[in-house]
Amino acid sequence: MTFLEHGLYGGAIAYKFNPNLFWFGVAFGVLPDIPPLILATQTAGLRRVAKRILKGGADNFPEYVYKVYDITHSFITTAAIFIILFLITKDSTALAISYGFHIVCDIPFHNSRFSTRFLYPLTNFHIHGYSETKHKWVILAQYPVIILIYVFLLKK
């Protein structure tokens, strides 16, 4: 799933709770991918990372990139973010749902070393999912769903 789909889902979730949180929801929807993307870009260069994103397969990044990916794609991290947001203001806890939904979406659609270890560091359990880079229908199938969600959200 690309940044666009993650952002649109995150924004929709936040908007449902509070329309003023829409852009924060977009940000929290893409947030799990930002730290590993920055690290991968710093170590491997933008061209190699872009190749990985567009074509898949070029995933020989340093181990710490995968560890950061595992940390940011864990429901344990999501729970920590929920608690922090709850302590700041209860109204913003919807953003943790946007964050967590990113992980839910990644579980079935990532494979190789980027399979989502959603309970890391408790376990490395993961599903060898359908790669969106090899199965483009995964990305294309998102858009009718996203359009329907926004039609219902904005109809109210």
From residue 126 to residue 155, the character string flagging contacts with Zn ion as x (rule: CB under 5 A) and all else as - is: ------------------------------
Residue whose C-alpha is closest to residue 70's, from 108, 35, 25: 35
The distance of closest approach from Cβ of residue 98 to Zn ion in the complex, given in angstroms and rounded to an integer, is 13
CA 84 to the chain's CA centroid: 19
Q: Is the dihedral of CA 110, 113, 124, 38 positive or negative?
A: negative
CB of 78 to Zn ion, least distance (A): 12
Enter the tokens of residue 130. 């359908």
Shortest separation between residue 7's beta carbon and Zn ion, angstroms: 12
Binding track over 85-114 against Zn ion, x by CB under 5 A: ---------------------x--------
What's at 45, amino acid-wise? Answer: G
Decide whether 106 or 132 has the Cβ nearer to Zn ion: 106
User: Backbone dihedral region of 49: left (phi > 0), alpha (psi from -120 to 50 degrees) or beta?
Assistant: alpha
Backbone angles phi, psi at 100, to 5 degrees: -65, -35
Of 112, 117, 124, which Cα lies nearest the Cα of 55?
A: 112
Binding to Zn ion by residue 5, rule CB under 5 A?
no
Among 33, 77, 100, 111, binds Zn ion (CB under 5 A): 33
Binding region for Zn ion (CB under 5 A) out of 29-37, 93-101, 120-128, 146-154? 29-37
Which residues contact Zn ion by CB under 5 A? Answer: 32-33, 106
